Amino acid sequence: MKNLIKVERARNNITQAELADKVKVSRQTINSIETGRFIPSALLAFKIANVLHRTADEVFQLEDSDW
């Protein structure tokens, strides 16, 4: 699953730690999601997208290899 968290964080001038605090996870979790080592639950994906003022579809995108 591809994600644009890092890009959207930059647009919103928010650090990994700030995003993590807002969605109630650790900074390491945000880092793991950004780098593709962890796929978030649907609820967490929606929370992240909401904080970044985007839809979940805009932040998280399935790739062909995900099927």
Q: Residue 63: its pLDDT value, please?
A: 82
Nearest to 42 by CA among 67, 22, 19, 59: 59
User: Does the domain made of 2-62 have the CATH classification 1.10.260.40?
Assistant: yes
Per-residue pLDDT, 65 = 80
Q: How many CA atoms lie within 13 A of 66 on its CB side?
A: 9
Structure-token match 């639950």, residue found: 41
Q: Where are the domains of the chain?
A: 2-62
pLDDT of 26 = 98
pLDDT along the chain (67 residues), means of 10: 96 98 98 96 98 97 81
Tokens of 52: 């970044």
